[in-house]
Amino acid sequence: MRFFKNLFSAIVILGILFPAYAQAQTVEQIKANDSYIWGEGTGMTLKKADNQALQMLVNQISVEVESRFKQFKEQEKSGTQTNYKEKVKSVVKTYSSATLHNTERIVISNEPDAKVFRYIKRKNVNQVFENRKDKIFSFVENARKAVKERRIGDALRYYYWGFTLLKSHPDCNDIRYTDGEGEKHPLITWIPMQINAIFSNLEYHVNKTEQADEMKRVVLNITYNGEPVDNLDYSYWDGRDWSNLINVKDGRGFLEYYGAAADGKEKGRIKTEYIYENQANIDNELKRVMDRVEAIPFRKSYYTVHFDSTRHQESRRVVQNQKRSKAKIAKVSDTVAYYRKLEKVQRAIRRRDYASVRNLFTARGYRMFEKLIQYGNARILSDPDHAYYKFRGGVMARSLPMSFSFQNNHQEFIEDVVFHFNGDEKIKSLSFGLSDHALNSIINKDVWDEVDRMVLINFLEHYKTAYALKRLDYIETIFADDALIITGEVVRVKPNADSRYQSNKIVRYNRQSKQEYIRNLRYSFQSKEYINIQFEESDVRKGGKGGDIYGVQIKQNYYSSNYGDQGWLFLMVDLNDPHEPIIHVRTWQPTKGKQDSIYGLSDF
């Protein structure tokens, strides 16, 4: 027994001493040992010296693995890539920020004459590339999930990002992905097949064309597998250049041509977005790779639409199907007065003669109207098909389709503007309407009173509009003084060490008081040219106690000039006084949790 105790003690001691021995090796011993790859650097600061050491280490790793980058070798042979070794070195540099900082470091001397030594065992080099493989698989999983949930823009984005990272991996030709049926696919051919399959099921239909002065507008219906698309961006050739990215809403889009480009125009050229370069900025590693790996063209992302009116029948059917999908709610019977006033508003917007309709608004309503028409370059997309509903002693008029573009950004949005009339038939407020998907998820709750459903729709539409128009005063009034507010921000993307297939987003959460939230929101509004919030599917439940307390779980897409994310918003809303809704809880999470869980009423 004593023998085994002594043996165990010896093993423990050796286990402690061997790592210590490895750490005790001198720089010269490591340099002389062929088991290591190393680099060293000097500088006035440790950071500069460390970066130089990493740079040298990257160069050594590039030499070590360059023979594995067969794809670049093939490009050099075909004449599409001129300097094979430099290309390999450039791509290997993209790993430095993500994984090479985890290599061993020895500080030989400190500032101001800093000297740093970096090294890694040759057998551990593969781990550097293994982390990137995990991220590739994570993007592929996100893309497949997005397709199932009909988030087509997200699916294209994740597939393309995964494909881009794949092209930066030395073993890209050999990496295989196991699908849900247990079949293995080589990603180098499988990902392009998935992207092209999405393009094949995506269609752009002309709904109608309009000609006014020197401008031609073509209104589009956009479908995926025959259903209207929400989650998608595209651009079009305007005769001189590709347009800004246009964000599709409820399967609707547009093309606009001016001057000579509009004359005799019979067809249009459209390019579906799949690179999403601006959104890639939240992930430094991905951005670095995208800067070094040439963009990969997909010919199927281009579409031609013909403006011949005889081809519009299918588009009209799509629109009719959308209308039929909406549940019925009580409408106003006598609409002539409201129709005429909205005609005047439309004419004023087109002529940019806004003051001419000031008398149609209340004082607050006109202030909102001014903010709305200043929200980007506001234009009417097409003639509306208004529907009028009785609501809280007034009338809700739905809705005027408009497009909004921004001077310093390459993004355009489509919004349905809803007008709210008071009892004196004056416009007291305006809001951006919910998507058909989000709208129907509330309207179809037949077990609730119709008034409750309309109050909820009105609240959510004014909520999203307040952020777009930066109405801080309104936002401050709808949060309770003691509200629980949990905000989140995507700060970077990195594979999860515990599971290859979990979300690749790292999120920073912050619990704030109402005062902190409003203060931070004020700074955020000042730093952004625009904000646009889009709500997709939602689940709304009524609380069992406290009267009209509702829990709203809703998918939110947040866009701004310098930041964007997607996630799930939960609001606990008190609607006991429908004129003064109060939010008691506001939380945000990037994805659903286990078993598709989202914060809900039962959590608070």
**In the numeric block, which tokens belong to residue 556?**
């939110």
CA distance 381 to 404: 10
Distance CA 251, CA 234 (A): 12
Identify the CA nearest to 384 among candidates 403, 401, 402: 401
What is the distance between the alpha carbons of residues 286 and 122, in angstroms, rounded to a whole number?
25
Strand partners, 65: none
Evaluate whether 288 touches 245 at the Cβ level (below 8 Å): no
For residue 309, say if its preceding peptide bond is cis, omega within 30 degrees of 0.
no
Q: Note the pLDDT of residue 545.
A: 62
State how far the Cα of 356 lies from the Cα of 17, in Å rounded to an integer: 86
Cβ atoms of residues 268 and 149 within 8 Å: no
Residue 124 confidence (pLDDT):
79
In the numeric block, the tokens 């998935």 are attached to 194
Distant-in-sequence contacts of 178-187, Cβ < 8 A, 24+ apart: 187/136, 187/140, 187/162, 187/163
Residues in the chain with pLDDT values less than 70? 1-24, 66-85, 87-89, 92-93, 95-102, 309-328, 488-508, 544-547, 593-597
Residue 270 CA to residue 242 CA, distance in Å, equals 9
Class of residue 350 by CB neighbours under 10 A (exposed 0-12, middle 13-18, buried 19+): exposed
| DSSP H helix total and E strand total for the chain | 16, 24
Q: Which residues touch 522 (CB under 8 Å, ≥6 apart)?
A: 472
User: Residue with structure tokens 């515990």?
Assistant: 498
Distance of CA 462 to the CA centre of its chain: 22
**Which two three-digit tokens encode residue 287?**
């951005």
Assigned CATH class of 452-604: alpha beta
* SS3 (DSSP) at 508: strand
A 10 A CB-CB count for 148 gives 8
Sign of CA dihedral 352, 354, 355, 356: positive
* Separation CA 210–CA 309 (nearest Å): 11
Please name every residue paired with 120 in a beta bridge, in sequence order, or none if there are none. Answer: 37
Asked if residue 203 lies in contact with residue 222, where contact means CB atoms within 8 angstroms, the answer is: yes
Q: How many residues does the chain have?
A: 604
Q: What is the reported pLDDT for 5?
A: 44
Is-contact 168 98, C-beta < 8 A?
A: no
Residue 65 tokens read as 């693995």
Contact predicate 220/381, CB 8 Å: no
HEC sequence for 29-95: HHHHCCCEEEEEEEECCHHHHHHHHHHHHHHHHHHHHHHHCHHHHHHHHHCCCCCHHHHHHHHHHHH
Domain limits, the chain: 1-27, 28-127, 326-433, 452-604
Q: Domain 326-433, what fold?
A: Nuclear Transport Factor 2; Chain: A, (3.10.450)
**Nearest partner of 132 among 80, 67, 187, 53, judged by Cα:** 187
- Determine contact, residues 575/550, Cβ cutoff 8 Å: yes
pLDDT at 278: 79
Name the residue among 505, 421, 567 with its Cα closest to residue 139. Answer: 505
Q: How far apart are the first and last CA of the chain?
A: 58
282: which residues sit within 8 A by CB, 6+ positions away? 490, 491, 492, 493, 563, 564, 565
3-state secondary structure of 460: helix
Euclidean distance between CA atoms 156 and 191, whole angstroms: 10
Block residue for tokens 């203060």 = 519
**73 residue type, one letter:** K
Q: Looking up tokens 């290309």, which residue turns up?
A: 87
Average per-residue pLDDT for the chain: 82
Give SS3 for 430. strand
- For the entire predicted model, the pTM comes to 0.74
Per-residue pLDDT at 496: 39
Backbone angles phi, psi at 582, to 5 degrees: -130, 130
Residues paired with 452 in a beta bridge? none
What would the 3-class secondary structure string for 217-282 be?
EEEEEEEECCEECCCCEEEEECCCCECCEEECECCEEEEEEEHHHHCCCCEEEEEECCCCCCHHHH
Rounded-to-integer distance, Cα 593 and Cα 604, Å: 17
How many other C-beta atoms lie within 10 A of the C-beta of residue 116?
24
- Examine domains 326-433 and 452-604 and report if their fold is the same: yes
CATH of 28-127, one of 3.10.28.20, 1.10.645.10, 3.20.20.70, 3.50.50.60: 3.10.28.20
pLDDT at site 13: 41
